[in-house]
Amino acid sequence: MAQGSQVYHVEIQLADADRGRYADLQFSTPQHPSETVERLILRLLAYALLHEEGMDFRKGGVSQGEEPDLSVHDLTGRLQHWIEIGTPAEERLLKAGRHTPRVTVFTHDGLLRRWKSRHGGKLPAFDGRLLCLEADLVENLGLALPRRIQWQMTISGGILYLDTGDNHYSSSIIHCRRDDFPEIR
């Protein structure tokens, strides 16, 4: 863990009716001094929404190495799912596609607009899928993120409902493949 990192302890009760997955997730993750709260929240949400057996955060933290932000390995240690947070470089996405059968970019609509504008109104080409939330959810969660997080998350009908104990939030979840990325204005 990098010096100056803050560790967040997270408990999430997940009820994903859309995928038929129900779990009580407990984990800790550091926030590197150079990592924004927005990116940390996206990592936490991605971990819960995409959770499957064998998922883990990048070893050494967000500032270390060329590994994916989140990954899923099978029992033999083979990489099965490469997950990038935010607006990854096209080169990283191409590398991901060469190393694993599944690639996912997890972001929010505000970042998606900036990402598209950097690439002439289009997203970088990659063979994978995009998972996008509403920026308001991420911004609101970042206003007072405690070091001990307890969330109840329900996904139903393509909507994420999140209860922090103090507040209730919701966000649509946009799932798409590269060929049908939505028009985000």
CA distances from 54 to 78, 112, 156 (A): 10, 28, 24
Q: Which of the listed CATH numbers 3.30.70.20, 3.30.300.30, 3.40.190.10, 3.10.640.10 matches domain 6-180?
A: 3.10.640.10
Q: With a cut of 70, list the residues of the chain below it in pLDDT.
A: 1-3, 60-65, 121, 177-185
Span 116-138, pLDDT tens digits = 777 776 777 778 889 999 999 99
Domain residue extents for the chain: 6-180
Residues in contact with 66: Cβ distance below 8 Å, sequence separation at least 6, in sequence order: 92, 95
What is the C-alpha separation between 21 and 43, in angstroms, rounded?
19
Share of the chain above pLDDT 70, in %: 89
| pLDDT of res. 62 | 61
Cα 147 to Cα 175: distance, rounded to the nearest angstrom: 29
Q: What is the pTM of this model?
A: 0.90
Coil, strand, or helix at residue 160? strand
Q: What is the pLDDT of residues 1-24, one digit of tens each?
A: 556 789 999 999 999 999 999 999
pLDDT value of position 76: 93
Q: What is the rounded distance in angstroms from the CA atom of residue 113 to the CA atom of residue 142?
A: 20
pLDDT for the residue numbered 40: 95
